[in-house]
Structure 1
Amino acid sequence: MVSWTIAGSLTVVPAAEHPELLADPVAKALAALHDPELVGVTAIDPDLADTAAFCETYGSPLDASANCVVVAGKRAGEERFAACLVLATTRADVNGVVRKRLDVRKASFAPMDTAVELTGMAYGGITPLGLPADWPILVDAAVAAAPELVIGSGIRAGKILIPGSVLASLPNAEVVEGLGR
């Protein structure tokens, strides 16, 4: 089992052994990973799932948290989606880097109900594991380089602890310099 230095006051258990702390698509994606033993999960108060409240309450460093946002744009009537994973201390460059990658005129955060419906995950818990197979997952270079991170588990009552290298190796993942600003 991995020793997590960013866990603060949390008890981390192997994610593969605790699917009840994961949304269904996340549990399925975890089972398909080459190295699921590198992924931990912890139970949290769902009212504290938002990054700032989570870090303050549980003593996990803000710079070791990564947020996953769903971005949408249209081109020739076709709606295109991508997931962006950036450190919690940065914001995704939606109208620069992401817009160009999606090849759309304008990109914006997907509406909450759309993001929830398309991912099968809870808002505030959306994570890059288990996203629709045709979506690009844009991973900021700082996220990919992080030795350990806290991310959502697909539900608000859990958090995943994972190395950035595992996120960078997900299917459809692209490491992007300058995604987080």
Structure 2
Amino acid sequence: MDAPIGHFDTALPAPDALGELTAPVAAAVRDWGGSVPADQIVYVDTDPQWADTAVFVQHYGQELLEKSANCVVVAGKRGGGTTLAACVVLSTTRVDVNGVVRRQLGARKASFASMDTATGESGMEYGGITPIGLPTGWPLLIDSAVVDLPYVLVGSGRRRGKLLVPGKAFAELPGAVVLEGLGAA
């Protein structure tokens, strides 16, 4: 199979690559119920040494820079409680944590979650967190620019490998809220 974007040696429909995914991501692909068929989500094998975005696009295709998204875990605090959420923005932007995220979560303070919290709570590897397979009940904030793309490159739950996901599929994920301006330049 050829990848819909980028230049990868190995590209498989995600349902055929469950063994390459972390348990929560594999379960989400196996139980997929969105309007986009699960086999349109593509797993591509990538080398972890090229995981950094700048190096990644040099190796796998410069066009991926505009078609890649980052998924980061944030913690919103209000009173004594903390709400974990995931944010998905294009890799050319930064998450507006202190503005859009804080307001959306109704938090007094919002910040990036620690690496231990992000990996421990998501069941995914740092640098590979993906919006597919996040814990039930987490808000999933997605920049509208991500949803508008035909295909978006995101993590696979591991540092090795990525997922190519039709943009509109992100809006159908559990807990998804599509927001304008979540990703700031």
Q: Scaled by the length of structure 1, what TM-score is found? A: 0.95
Match of 2:46 in 1: 44
For 2:16 and 2:4, the matched residues in 1 are separated by 21
Size of the aligned set, in residue pairs, is: 180
For 2:29 and 2:59, the matched residues in 1 are separated by 27
Structure 2 regions of 5+ residues with no counterpart?
Answer: none
For 1:5 and 1:39, the matched residues in 2 are separated by 10
Structure 1 regions of 5+ residues with no counterpart?
Answer: none
Q: Which amino acid aligns with 2:19?
A: E
Match of 1:68 in 2: 71
Match of 2:146 in 1: 143
For 1:52 and 1:42, the matched residues in 2 are separated by 18
Match of 1:127 in 2: 130
Q: Which amino acid aligns with 2:22?
A: A
Contact 1:21 1:42 in 2 (8 A): no
Could you list the runs of 4 or more consecutive aligned residues of structure 1 that deviate by over 3 angstroms after TM superposition? Answer: none
Q: Scaled by the length of structure 2, what TM-score is found? A: 0.93
Q: Confirm or deny that 1:26 pairs with 2:25.
A: yes
Report the RMSD for the aligned CA atoms in angstroms. 1.3
Q: Confirm or deny that 1:113 pairs with 2:112.
A: no
Match of 1:6 in 2: 5
For 1:49 and 1:23, the matched residues in 2 are separated by 17
For 2:105 and 2:84, the matched residues in 1 are separated by 8
